[in-house]
Structure 1
Amino acid sequence: MHAQIPREMTAIGFDAPGGPEVLRPETVPVPEPGEGQVLLRVAYAGVNRPDVAQRQGAYPPPPGASPLPGLEVSGTIVAVGEGLPREYIGERYCALVAGGGYAEYCLAHIGHCLPVPDDMPLAEAAAIPETLFTVWHNVFERGWASDGETLLVHGGTSGIGTMATMLGKAFGLTVITTCGDAAKCDASRELGADLSINYREQDFVEEVKAFTGGKGVEVVLDMVSGDYVARNMKCLAEDGRHVSIAVLGGMKADVNMAVVMSRRLTLTGSTLRPRSDAFKTLLAGEIEKNAWPLFEDGTLRPVMDRSFPLAEAAAAHAHMEAGDHIGKIVLEVAGG
């Protein structure tokens, strides 16, 4: 370790699963980078739904990952592990991490880092990796979305929803979103959604059919699961792809396999966190080549909701669970 790096740091942890109030600051050792790893002095950490699930006891960290919550950070590299050049030290990066983001220092695999341009605010940089990696893999790689196709995204104003809308539009997709109220529908349309459906007042199946002239959509990005799956399938065009990334509405679904066969549907899904370092490195490479330039030049910017100080992580979680946010919530650690 280097002289300017302290031995201990403040991080956010919890003793037992529970509501937002179980989150509290604690003092823990600063981790040391291993082979292929960098140590980031964290400027900001993104807050994501999986962090809430982890706090509730429903999404444990994978083996070997930090037990601390936090799946994305931005900051400055202050130390490098074996096999990495010292030239990285002092450079600004954001990173997808398997845990440990809610802290003053965080380890990241160099292959899971993206360079932050000088004119990109570090708060925005911290709000990108988790949703960008998730959407890129699930919409474009698993869902095979391609230019001219239509994508249905549930939760249009969530971090995932806003990223899927922006990326979809950037790559030539027609995007339909669902949201829980008129204001969120307006916000989703302002972000580029071609149609935003208030699911509390409208039947999204009927609205999708009307909008697509009965054809349906090629891809559904679903974080609800449960009874949404059967309804989503009614929205799919022939040869459509249904991609699940969360089970907010329940893990079980009734699926009519005769419909899957007759319409040649594909049902797939994934979780990113437990995937191998090698897989995430390949994914980061694809993103750096295809999507990151749009963020580097300012064509795309993450939709920011608000920032909370690291010590107020509990309030940030309560804010996310209240469901009123539009875009990304971040924790300010060192700022900058």
Structure 2
Amino acid sequence: MKALQGVEGHVEWREQPSPTCDVGQVKIRVAAAGLNRADLMQRAGLYPPPPGASDILGLECAGVISEVGVGSSWQVGDRVCTLLAGGGMAEEVVVDGRHVLPVPEGLSLHEAAAIVEVYATVWLNLFQLAELQPGEKVLLHAGASGIGSAAIQLCKAFGNPTWVSVGSAERLAYCEALGAQGGVVRGDGLEGLKDLGPFDVILDPVGANYSELNLDVVALDGRWVMIGLMGGRQAQFDLAKVLSKRVRLQGSTLRSRDDAFKADLLSDLGQQVWPLFTEGRLKPQLAKTFPIADAEAAFEALASNQISGKVVLVIDETLS
């Protein structure tokens, strides 16, 4: 089979051994794979896969099951999407059957490739770790990203008003169209968030640059969940605010979680979130697709920070 690998800051579509299907696993003929910032970091040599995971790029994909290992209830021919620690940007991938979900009714395989990683991330961090309750206010930094797009819709579905920080007026309008109450544009200054808060939960992929601001706008007993370091890893802030506001700061990663944890997360996602796609309350925000031959252009598009929603790489054009 062929697969995409990061090589010294660029990507190459090259021959790799076809994976074998073991007990409890399924093999998927991949139609399309979602592109995430973790893939950009891995391409740059900054985010190696966890021990034991494939070094092939791709943390999510969708396709058709071509082989089923002993002990799995899936069937050959099932249309599925899956969460991965790596390996999704390939013609085939083998995955624990517990990490697979059916493609929601009415969605194409290209759309399904854009939903698993972002909705799993949002469900884990907002609803499980931060224990978001109906009516609580949420602040989403990078609100027009794939994760932000998913979070806005999911918060709306569960009764949580959201506000965002974004890079442009156009991206703010995009977020408001999805259901955000409002927000601020970085270039105009983030201080306006102080007039919109306080926020019960902050989902933060930025890190250091926003630390002081987060403590200013988080509510009493608020939860600040950090999922990325786009703005740096070294921060200085006033710990007295953490004490006086009783703030809970939670660091969170998903890729390195063990198989059992991911199986429980995907089971919960399938029960609590997947029906909302069928009901039309959630919609994939597929901004742009690229053929696998143009993978480098897809990576550059995501790196430009001009994409609202998700980028997907089409691997098998005969599957849709």
Scaled to the shorter chain, the TM-score interval is over 0.9
Aligned residue number for residue 51 of structure 2: 63
Counterpart position of 1:161: 148
2:85 counterpart of 1:98: yes
Partner of 2:271: 289
Structure 1: which amino acid aligns with 2:202? V
Matched ranges for 1:19-38 at <5 A: 22-38=10-26
In structure 2, which of residues 166, 178, 183 is the aligned counterpart of residue 191 of structure 1? 178
Residue 134 (str. 1) matches residue 121 (str. 2): yes
Alignment of 1:178 with 2:165, yes or no, is yes
Determine if the alignment matches structure 1 residue 208 to structure 2 residue 193: yes
Q: Is the 8 A contact 1:44 1:74 kept in 2?
A: yes
- Would you say the 8 A contact 1:227–1:254 is kept in 2? no
Displacement of 1:223: 0.4
Could you tell me how far apart the structure 2 residues matched to 1:232 and 1:14 are?
Answer: 34
Q: Structure 1 residue 28: deviation in Å?
A: 1.1
Equivalences for 1:75-86 in 2 at 5 Å? Answer: 75-85=63-73
The aligned residue for residue 262 of structure 2 is 280
SS at match of 2:232: coil
Measure how far apart 1:150 and its partner are.
0.4
SS at match of 2:98: helix
Task: Report the Cα distance in structure 2 between the residues aligned to 1:297 and 1:38, rounded to whole angstroms.
Answer: 28
- Is 1:152 the counterpart of 2:139 in the alignment? yes
Matched, 1:119 2:106: yes
Q: Helix, strand or coil for the counterpart of 1:144?
A: coil
**1:250 partnered with 2:232:** yes
Tell me, yes or no, if the aligned pair for 2:104 and 2:274 is still in contact at 8 Å: no
* RMSD over equivalenced CA pairs, Å: 1.2
CA distance in 2, matches of 1:23, 1:210: 44
Alpha-carbon contact 1:142-1:269 (below 8 Å) kept: no
Counterpart of 1:74 in structure 2 is 62
Q: Is the 8 A contact 2:63 2:79 kept in 1?
A: yes
Aligned to 1:3: none
- What is the Cα deviation at residue 64 of structure 1? 1.1
* C-alpha deviation, 1:11, in angstroms: 1.1
Question: How far has the Cα of 1:196 moved from its partner?
Answer: 2.3
In structure 1, runs of 5+ residues without a counterpart are: 1-8
Q: Structure 1 CA distance, aligned partners of 2:221 and 2:26?
A: 43
CA distance in 2, matches of 1:68, 1:252: 30
Q: Secondary structure at the match of 2:7?
A: coil
- The 1-side partners of 2:228 and 2:174 are apart by 23
Aligned counterparts of 2:96 and 2:79: Cα–Cα separation in 1: 14
Check whether the contact 2:7–2:43 (CA below 8 A) recurs between aligned residues. no
Distance 2:187 2:7 in 1: 37
CA contact (8 A) 2:81 2:103 kept: yes
Distance in 2 (alpha carbons) for counterparts of 1:263 and 1:299: 34
2:94 to 95, 107, 110: 107
Partner of 2:284: 302
Q: Which runs of 5+ in 2 are unaligned?
A: none
Question: In the alignment, is the contact (CA less than 8 A) between 1:138 and 1:269 conserved in 2?
Answer: no
Counterpart AA for 1:188: C
Tell whether the 8 Å contact from 2:6 to 2:57 is kept in structure 1 after alignment: no
Which deviations, in whole Å up to 9, do the C-alpha atoms of 1:45-88 show, x marking residues without a partner? Answer: 00000000111111100111111010000000001123224x51
Q: In 2, distance between residues paired with 1:14 and 1:144?
A: 36
Q: Give the superposition deviation at 1:259.
A: 1.2
Query: How far apart, CA to CA, are the structure 2 residues paired with 1:93 and 1:331?
Result: 16
SS of 2:254 mapped into structure 1: coil
Residue 118 of structure 1 deviates from its aligned partner by 4.5
Identical positions, percent: 42
Preserved CA contact (<8 Å) 2:134 2:159: yes
Question: How many angstroms apart in 2 are the aligned matches of 1:138 and 1:50?
Answer: 17
State the 1:252 CA deviation. Answer: 1.7
2:293 maps to: 311
> What CA distance in whole angstroms lies between the structure 1 residues aligned with 2:93 and 2:258?
19
